[in-house]
Amino acid sequence: MQRTVAVVQVPAWLRAQEVLGEPVAARWQRVCAAAGLHAVVQAPDDPVDGALVVDGRALSLAPGTLRRVADGVVTVVCERGADETVRLWVARRVGAEGAPGVERLEGELADTPEALHRVERALAEALRRGAVAHGVRLVGEGMLLAPTVSLAPGCTVWHGAVLLGATRVAAGAVIHPGCVLRDADVGPDAVLLAHTVAEGATIGPGTRVGPFAHLRPGTVLDEGSRIGNFVETKNTRLGAGAKANHLAYLGDAEVGEGSNIGAGTITCNYDGARKHRTHVGAGVFVGTNTSLVAPVRVGDGALVAAGSVITEDVPAGALAIARPPQRTLAGKGAVLLARNRAARDEAEG
């Protein structure tokens, strides 16, 4: 059975906006689909080819109401009061005579940026109330929850967090202030510390991330793994219990269970034309300030010394040191410092 077509008329300025992180056109596609309708989003002055026309500024219109309108149970018309405040959402059948059976619905059309702000604020508050009623713990104010987000009872979201897209948060997980999640899957009892950004990432049970971490698309954190402050990951998997506690970049990488990635470590994954993968086995210790030049493999239980540039595979259990020998020239440091300071003083006059 073919679905009823809903022609949603959205002004150009509004079509360029997002509502709670969701593009306006995508929002209407979702709302209409939930009502069993096929949405055609177009400009108000485009030719109409559909059984139902909806004013796209009516962003608070619920799928259930839209379905009732489509079924002919109710016709909703737009009216303005004496104060010019828009009171009714708009949905009218093409060619309909008059408006029999009019149902008056309180609401506001987003016909100006100021009105859009009010509508979005009301939608956000309704979503927060719904989350609390569902058993979600919201701490403080100002968190933004998109309507496409799924929050399990027993999870906690702190003030200032922004949850967008198809983000899912499991029971027992805690999202701290300032986190921004889009299309992220957060497992049970995971903790995301302040100002973590995650997009398209899978964050496993009992993991701990942040603060100030950046999980880019394709990141997978297995149970109990740890990503610390100022760590960025992309298309990378950390095995159970693995950790990168600070100041690292892991791109296109596999890190085995229980491995430790030292501060300042980076995977050199891009050669200017192609991306290459780095494989780090289980129980590996990678020392501070190491560069892993992909494609490269580090075997299970290996140790990579701090300051190394690894360009060849490291066998399991091996020690890899790749750094030039240190030279120490007696007295040379004092001479150079004196010369540099004299040049500085002369330049400063």
Answer whether the bond into residue 44 is a cis peptide, omega within 30°.
Answer: no
| Rounded CA separation 313/293 (Å) | 10
Burial of 115 (0-12, 13-18, 19+ CB in 10 A): middle
CA atoms within 13 A on the CB side of 298: 35
Backbone angles phi, psi at 290, to 5 degrees: -100, 140
Which residue out of 38, 214, 246, 276 is catalytically annotated?
Answer: 246
Q: How many CB atoms lie within 10 A of CB 300?
A: 16
Contact (CB, 8 A) for 237 and 256:
no
Active-site annotation holds for 38 = no
Helices (H), the chain: 12-15, 24-34, 63-70, 113-133, 332-348
| Rounded CA separation 218/228 (Å) | 18
Answer whether the bond into residue 211 is a cis peptide, omega within 30°.
Answer: yes
Helix (H, G, I), strand (E, B) or coil at 27: helix
| Rounded CA separation 187/240 (Å) | 13
| Rounded CA separation 283/21 (Å) | 40
Active site residues: 246
